[in-house]
Amino acid sequence: MITGTNLTYAYGNHRVINNISLSSALGRVLGIIGPNGSGKTTLLRLLYGALQPQEGAVCIDGKPLSQLNPREIAQQLAVVVQEPYEENAITVGEMVLLGRTPHTPPFTRTTAEDHRLAADALERVGVAHLGHRSFTSLSGGERQRVLIARALAQQGRHLLLDEPTNHLDIRYQHEILALVRSLSVTTLVVLHDLNLAAQYCDELILLDHGQVAASGTPEDVLKPELIYEVYGIHAIRHQVADHVHLSFALPPIPTLDKKGPYL
């Protein structure tokens, strides 16, 4: 279980996370949604220790994250984030093998089991054929799938993802999120697409200007009046199979009088 209690964080005098609490249990998918600038990525970075909260605390299975060293954190948390990579000669297979680093004793080589786990992870995300390619030669979508494979090879009990469907076409968006949902781990995922969040998340936290505007099931959170309040766009809810689906329409654009300065 991952819990955050009364988390607060500011960049200088600008508070971007304001007294947020959350909890996500084993085998459940918690989606973090909200407009650009609402604090989604900052909150995720607090949860995996890249940032230290100025108030509040994060716990992993009841133990404060602040009491774990980086290796212990990496053994428990697998993280997929949007990150730049310098041009280098690392292959896709080597990138995925980096997921085994937290489990490899210092000054030892990766084992045959490590290589098997890496190969299995590449197969599960559909890029096994890219194993010998240079990582930097891949498309954005291919890179994203490789980074998810690295997280799977890491075998952490908790998985945190920042926009894992970025750069992916529709098919792979659904394949990756279906795969994530099938894992028996605690999962927290930042998503922009509300319909993907509705279909693949058990619970949602909707952020607005660094605060929780709503939390609960997708049916509880994705209400048209709340979406308009937070996003400024009209939404119509539809029930599709066992989940909510939304369609959207912008508010009418005011028309200028013919005597206005632009006509």
Structure tokens at 234: 């009209």
Instruction: Clarify whether residues 177 and 150 are in a common domain.
Output: no
The pTM of this model reads 0.86
Query: Are 127 and 96 members of one domain?
Result: yes
Q: Which of 196, 167, 19 is nearest to 80 (CA)?
A: 167
Q: What is the mean pLDDT of residues 94-112?
A: 88
Residue 139 sits in the same domain as residue 170: no
What's the total number of domains in the chain? 2
How many C-beta atoms lie closer than 10 Å to residue 78's C-beta?
A: 25
Give the per-residue pLDDT at 260: 52
The residue-averaged pLDDT of 134-160 equals: 88
Please report where in the chains the tokens 């896709």 appear, as a residue. 92
* DSSP notation for 180-214: HHHSSSEEEEE-S-HHHHHHH-SEEEEEETTEEEE
Q: Mark whether 167 and 259 lie in a shared domain.
A: yes
Same domain, 164 and 46: yes
Same domain for 120 and 238, yes or no, is: no
Q: Map tokens 């076409």 to a residue.
A: 169
Q: What is the pLDDT of residues 78-98, one digit of tens each?
A: 998 876 666 567 899 999 999
Structure-derived torsion over alpha carbons of residues 15, 19, 25, 28, reported in degrees to the nearest 10: -50
Residue where one domain finishes, among candidates 130, 155, 180: 155
Distance CA 197, CA 248 (A): 15
Whether residue 234 is contained in a domain is answered as yes
Owner of token pair 């939404």: 235
6-35 per-position pLDDT tens digit: 999 998 888 999 999 999 988 899 999 999
Burial class (CB in 10 A: 0-12, 13-18, 19+), 239: exposed
**CB-based contact 38:207 (threshold 8 Å):** yes
237 and 111 fall within a common domain: no
Assess if residue 74 is contained within a domain. Answer: no
Is residue 196 in some structural domain? yes
- Strand order of the sheet with strand 2-11? 14-24, 2-11, 55-60, 63-64
Q: Is residue 72 part of a domain?
A: no
Percent of the chain with pLDDT over 90: 57
Decide if 123 contacts 96 (C-beta within 8 A): no
pLDDT digits (tens, 9 = 90+) for 231-255: 999 999 998 888 899 999 877 766 6
Tell whether 52 is covered by a domain.
yes
Q: Are residues 194 and 235 in the same domain?
A: yes
- Examine the domain organization and report whether 161 and 54 are in the same domain: yes
- Which pLDDT belongs to residue 213? 96
Spatial CA neighbour of 218 closest among 238, 198, 241: 198
Q: Which domain holds residue 185?
A: 1-61+157-263
Q: Which of 131, 155, 179 is the last residue of a domain?
A: 155
Q: State the Cα angle at 75 between 197 and 20, rounded to 5°.
A: 45
What Rg, from alpha-carbon coordinates, does the chain have? 20
Asked if residue 130 and residue 199 are part of one domain, the reply reads no
- Same structural domain, 250 and 173: yes
